[in-house]
Structure 1
């Protein structure tokens, strides 16, 4: 199975160098392919021997193990793209994943915080050094709507306090310039001038938000930090770092922002992805209608 491992490593380089995917996206692909590699090893199959029925069996195994429909759909996409790469580079003759029928995903609407809940969450950290850093992180997440993977890669050079914007490298290595509020700019300015230096262990580290060890946050570390403040705020909804992005977009649209403008801010390549937030707003309107209309 050494050849399979080599092909996966070569595919990783392709995703990084030619496709320009983010570290988080590449890690997700590699996790999927690790599971696929383990399956092939158990079945004693080489990549050139794989048939559509083998892929179907693999996906069925993963589904029975408890994976949700969304994860199976992503896994299927990974297989299709990986086998297309193998065919394009003449490692295999065919792409057996092309014949797989696409998994249909029921789009579930994520939890969104109210403005009051968001205010309670963001202002819950104490006045310690770590608390002021955490306050700055959550303030920026809500002010900009950036993805978690984008936030942890922001450097101090990506922040322009005077002009009030941040520079972000998103999916597909695409650059976005995102305006931030005066309040978040003020909090970031204080963090950079007075707080960040106290976490800095090496002058060669340019990552904006640093942990106690002087290194950048991981996605898991950021998730744990937010869960801590969720408990402090006594908010019962399911809050993740991505909740800030959902709330950012929903609140903008509820207050009359143009859908195309929100699409640009979020870095969506397809406006249909952004339209999910109009559904969230419509859902909220329906709930208010049912609650307050006199003829229920």
Structure 2
């Protein structure tokens, strides 16, 4: 089908020209597939090539019954991007999403952990725990320490390589969204835990494809994102933490704690790997006391 060729071309465009990660490309693809499944379910001969505004509107209305405002907005944005590509490549003349407005959503402030929360989570790890001879307790402690001390995304953590460690210089090389690389400072305490894990790692029968991957499962392969979520979820349950947390919560906490302690917003942006500082500015809304402190310290009429 012509639209299938268009979708394959679109995925290639997202990867090569826009440099998006595989996870981001998958999300864009899922947006289109939701529309296709809707059309198939309704026995329609319509495809993305010839669908019109009313038909797209009917799909959005149907999908909105199961989505909150934020998810609706993301779906509309993903489809708008796809149809913009179809117009650009002359698959069709107009974008049927041009007349559809995204729902108004407030800016969601990130959830954060206190320093005590983070200490309690790490202290709850059973360091003696082994699986098939692998000390996964030590590994899990190192994972949480690295997430928090370097502010990494979960995919950046799972993709971290041994060759990315530059401890003599006090940095690690991180590959972020769109394969963009940055150097992030790493403290001596976290370096210590990574070196302990590296020593344990030498006793694992490492899969040939993951010889350079830092964090491995007991089968010698790269850890999955889902496994990191599970580790954190189990620890939160163990300490009766009354919060829903994820690996990203450690990243938010990293940025918030830096800001609270007087770090420059531009420095935080570089460490997080945000392309625009407006993305980093969301942390200014988490603790407004930092603004007052800045005014009292630096304004000439304070």
* Counterpart in the other structure of 1:176: 182
Alignment of 1:7-46 (within 5 A): 7-42=6-41, 43-46=44-47
Q: Does 1:113 align with 2:113?
A: yes
Alignment of 1:89-128 (within 5 A): 89-127=89-127, 128=129
| C-alpha separation in 1, matches of 2:60 and 2:221 | 37
Name whichever structure is richer in helix by fraction.
Answer: 1
Confirm or deny: 8 A CA contact 1:48 1:93 kept in the other structure.
no
- Residue 98 (structure 1) shift: 2.3
* Counterpart in the other structure of 1:73: 73
Tell me which moved more, 81-90 or 41-50. 41-50
- Residue 249 (structure 1) shift: 0.4
* Counterpart in the other structure of 2:299: none
Q: Structure 1 stretches (4+) deviating beyond 6 angstroms?
A: 283-286
- Residue 5 (structure 1) shift: 2.5
Q: Encode CA deviations 1:15-42: one digit per residue, 9 max, x unaligned.
A: 1122111122112112222212212323
* Counterpart in the other structure of 1:145: 151
| C-alpha separation in 2, matches of 1:149 and 1:55 | 33
Alignment of 1:271-290 (within 5 A): 271-282=277-288
Q: Encode CA deviations 1:142-198: one digit per residue, 9 max, x unaligned.
A: 011111122122221112222221111212332111001111111111212x12233
Going from structure 1 to structure 2, the CA distance change for 1:3 and 1:197 (only over 3 Å counts) comes to: farther
Give me the TM-score of the superposition, normalised by structure 2.
Answer: 0.88
| C-alpha separation in 1, matches of 2:205 and 2:166 | 20
| C-alpha separation in 2, matches of 1:83 and 1:243 | 33
Q: 2:269 aligns with which of 263, 267, 272?
A: 263
* Counterpart in the other structure of 1:289: none
Task: Point out where structure 1 has 5 or more consecutive residues left out of the alignment.
Answer: 287-296
Confirm or deny: 8 A CA contact 1:24 1:149 kept in the other structure.
no
| C-alpha separation in 1, matches of 2:138 and 2:237 | 18
Q: How many residues align?
A: 283
Going from structure 1 to structure 2, the CA distance change for 1:38 and 1:98 (only over 3 Å counts) comes to: same
Any idea what SS the aligned residue of 2:209 has?
A: coil
Going from structure 1 to structure 2, the CA distance change for 1:200 and 1:103 (only over 3 Å counts) comes to: farther
Confirm or deny: 8 A CA contact 1:4 1:37 kept in the other structure.
no
Confirm or deny: 8 A CA contact 2:260 2:290 kept in the other structure.
no
